[in-house]
Structure formats: structure tokens, C-alpha cells
Amino acid sequence: MIQMELSGLGFDPRNMSPIVLLKDSEERNFLPIWIGMFEAGAIAMELQEFKSPRPMTHDLIVDIVGKLQAKIEKIIISEVKEDTFYAVLEIRPKDGKEVIKIDSRPSDAIAIAVRVNAPIFVAENVMLNAKMVNSEKDKEETAKFQEFLNNVKPEDFEKYFKQQ
């Protein structure tokens, strides 16, 4: 497994679908994962330290795990099949015994991870099979995406939350 960090959020310029971007510690390889608008908003809100007046679903999950005195140890982007990513939440119960693994969409797992500062890992087979961006090979693409990431704000997702 390879530990990654959340680099930021963006939009696929072709279809304006939200993307979460993970990067390795050396910032040489980036893994874009296309996600839903609501999950993008949930991640953006946490990154910008914006608190909803009522708990969002990801906040509720974190609260439940905390009330059970368990700990979200890490998330793992575990596989990719036909351009669909899969993830696992690893939760340690209060007795400290066997870790509980819960299937998750990567976007939900990342939204939870940013709330509890849990590390994000990507399985090596995902790194090999996913559509990676190598910053050295794709300098122009990386620069454009980084510029977008530097300018995205939670308000960019506002219209999607007003629909709820």
C-alpha cells in the first residue's frame, strides 16, 4: 500500500464532474478519482472548516464511531474495476482487537478521513491500473489542475446543497 494525501478538489473540464485528487508524498504521482457533487461539497466544506448547522452524513458517521469509542484508523482505496474505485474504512473497536473493515465509496471514505485526520492509502494494484497523472511527464496538465485547485471554494458547490 502507498500512503497518499488529499491534494484537493477540482472539476473535469470535459464534463464538469467533480474530481478528488490524491498525491504521493513526493508529489510526483497524482491519482484523480471522479466523485459525486455532494461528496465533493462535503470534502470542500471540511477543508474550508465550514460547519453545517446540522450534522451532515459524514459528520454523523464520525460521531457514531466516536460514541462507540472506536477509531477510524485509515482508509484504503482498495481496487478499481472498469473505472470504478472501491474503498475500505478500517475501524478499530474500543476493545482494540480485530479491525473492522467496511466497504465504502472512495468519496465517502475520503470525506470521513478528512474529518478525523485518518491516513489515506492506495493499494499498489490501483496505482498500477488507474489513470494516474505523473507530474514530471504531464507538467502542463498538472499546472492547469493545480491552478484550479488553488481557486476552488466551498461556495462553488453551494447551488447543489440548496437543492436538498
| DSSP bridge partners of 120 | 4, 75
Has residue 75 been placed in a domain? yes
First to last CA, the chain: 37
Residue 112 has pLDDT above 90, yes or no: yes
Predicted local confidence at residue 24, as pLDDT: 85
Split into its structural domains, the chain has a count of 1
- Tell me the three state secondary structure of residue 145: helix
Residues with Cβ within 8 Å of residue 41, at least 6 apart in sequence: 154, 157, 160, 161
pLDDT in tens, 64-88: 999 999 999 999 999 998 888 999 9
CB of 36 closer than 8 Å to CB of 18: yes
Examine residue 77 and state whether it is found in any structural domain, yes or no. Answer: yes
Residue 164: band (very low, low, confident or very high) from pLDDT cuts 50, 70, 90: very low
Q: What is the model's pLDDT at position 136?
A: 54
137-150: pLDDT as tens digits = 555 655 665 666 56
Residue with cell 461528496: 39
145-to-26, 45, 115, 155 alpha-carbon distances in Å:
17, 20, 24, 19
CATH number of the domain where residue 151 is located: 3.10.690.10
pLDDT at 114: 92
Please tell me the predicted confidence (pLDDT) of residue 118: 95
Distance between alpha carbon 106 and the CA centroid of its chain, in Å?
6
The three cell numbers of residue 35 are 466523485
* Average pLDDT of the residues in 79-101: 90
Question: What's the confidence (pLDDT) of residue 123?
Answer: 92
Instruction: Quote the pLDDT of residue 18.
Output: 87
pLDDT band at 163 (very low <50, low <70, confident <90, very high): very low
- Average pLDDT score over residue span 119-137: 77
Grid coordinates of 137:
511527464
pLDDT in tens, 21-63: 898 888 777 888 888 888 888 888 888 888 888 888 898 999 9
pTM, full prediction: 0.77
Domain span at 41: 2-155
Count of residues in the chain: 164
